[in-house]
Amino acid sequence: MSIFERNISDFCDFLIKRQLVVAGRETFYVFWLRRYFQQEINFKGTGWESKLPQFLDSLKREPQIAPWQVDQASQAVQLYFNNFLNAQKKSLEQGKNQGEKGKSDWFDGQRVLADLTEWLRIKHYAYKTEKSYLNWCRRFLQYSYECKGKNDEGNICITPELIKDFLARLATHGKAAKSTQNQAFSSLLFLCRHVLQIDLKDMEKNLRAKTAKKLPVVLTPIEVKLVLSSVSGTNGLILRLIYSSGMRLSECARLRVKDLDFDQSLIFIRSGKGDKDRSTLLAEQIKSALREHLQRVKQLHQKDLSDGFGEVYLPGALNKKYPSACKEWGWQYVFPSAKLSVDPRSKKTRRHHISDGAIQNAMKKAVRAADIVKPASVHTLRHSFATHLLLNGVDLRQIQDYLGHVSVETTMIYTHVVKNLRNPAISPLDMLDQMTTE
């Protein structure tokens, strides 16, 4: 049994022993608590006190949930954090006072990683985020083993000071970038909060590296034209689609056939960054090539079906709700992979979408062929999309919707780029030639 399931089971026993709820209602309180943890990632704030009102508001918006059920959900979360966790802390402190001090610092490394994986999936983190968090936690556990070793039971000693030393070593000896250091800290913070239940206290504020605000790399319209003319085929179509719509690379790779609306010239992006949906532009110039590409993809899909394959990954529980949807044409990826592969979670053989690396390599070769010295990547096309729309007088709020930014302040970074491109100041050196000597 994982740490999460053990806590849930202990919470249920706690309610029964303390007689805090009506007998036989414990399962309902456990149900609301599970639902809170599943939705917690979507709420703003750091503590449960700030997230609970948002959770209750989301329940009130569901017509099938009665007001008394909302009150019950509120009681369940409060009982867990105020009563159950406090009782656990007191019990732990009593154990330390009885000579068991330091025992709680030892953890089974393999069990920790298994529980971490379960927590990440409970909170519906992306697969890439799961891989990244697991990688950093493995490195930290290895560092713990090297520093403090293992006890007779093979457990690893983990303390807040050891976490601080690991991040300090990463920054000083590893010369890690600020974003890399913050990613490592976020991984360990998640580990401490949900798996190890270690309180980092003030370290949560002090261990994050301060990030600097930098202007994005933007290509001029002429440079974009040179880059796009240097690449053809499917990769060229993808790069044109990204520049014309402002999509992220991962959003374009995961694009499905049903999300293309040729009649309204729109692209619907599902579960983008932050698990948000939005719509963006579908350029007229790209429609013809995109239709031809879809015809070839449809032929490939029909061949997969005849070979006994043809399934595609469906998010969440849609595969159970619509069992035949995984083979329907509308759910297929617009840019499928050239080869079948095994899903790392379900172990099913499917045709996944094209890899990000293939598109990045195509962009890198196109930039070199265009003889552009700017450090341009695929994401540069997204920056260029926003900047060129601003130059053409498109409203900033509208660009924010196209890009999927939560705050308009994020989109306002492009106003600084436009300021440099539009009406630049004349250098004093150039003004010397215009001056006349007396």
Q: Which residues are catalytic?
A: 248, 273, 379, 382, 405, 414
SS3 assignment, position 193: helix
At residue 210, φ and ψ (nearest 5 deg) are -75, 120
Residue 274 per-residue DSSP state:
T
Q: Rounded to an integer, what distance in angstroms lies between the CA atom of residue 423 and that of residue 202?
A: 47
User: H or E stretch including 409?
Assistant: helix 408-411
Q: Rounded to an integer, what distance in angstroms lies between the CA atom of residue 333 and that of residue 297?
A: 9
DSSP for 111-151, please give it.
Answer: HHHHHHHHHHHHTT--HHHHHHHHHHHHHHHHHHHHHH-B-
CA atoms 56, 61, 62, 66: torsion sign:
positive
Q: Rounded to an integer, what distance in angstroms lies between the CA atom of residue 259 and that of residue 415?
A: 30
Phi-psi region of 23 (alpha: psi -120 to 50; beta: other; left: phi over 0): beta
Helix then strand then coil, in percent of the chain rounded to 5, is: 60, 5, 35
Q: Rounded to an integer, what distance in angstroms lies between the CA atom of residue 258 and that of residue 332?
A: 8
Q: Rounded to an integer, what distance in angstroms lies between the CA atom of residue 338 and that of residue 290?
A: 17
Helices (H) then strands (E): counts for the chain: 21, 7
Inter-residue contact 341 to 194 (CB < 8 Å): no
Q: Rounded to an integer, what distance in angstroms lies between the CA atom of residue 270 and that of residue 367?
A: 29
At residue 390, φ and ψ (nearest 5 deg) are -65, -40
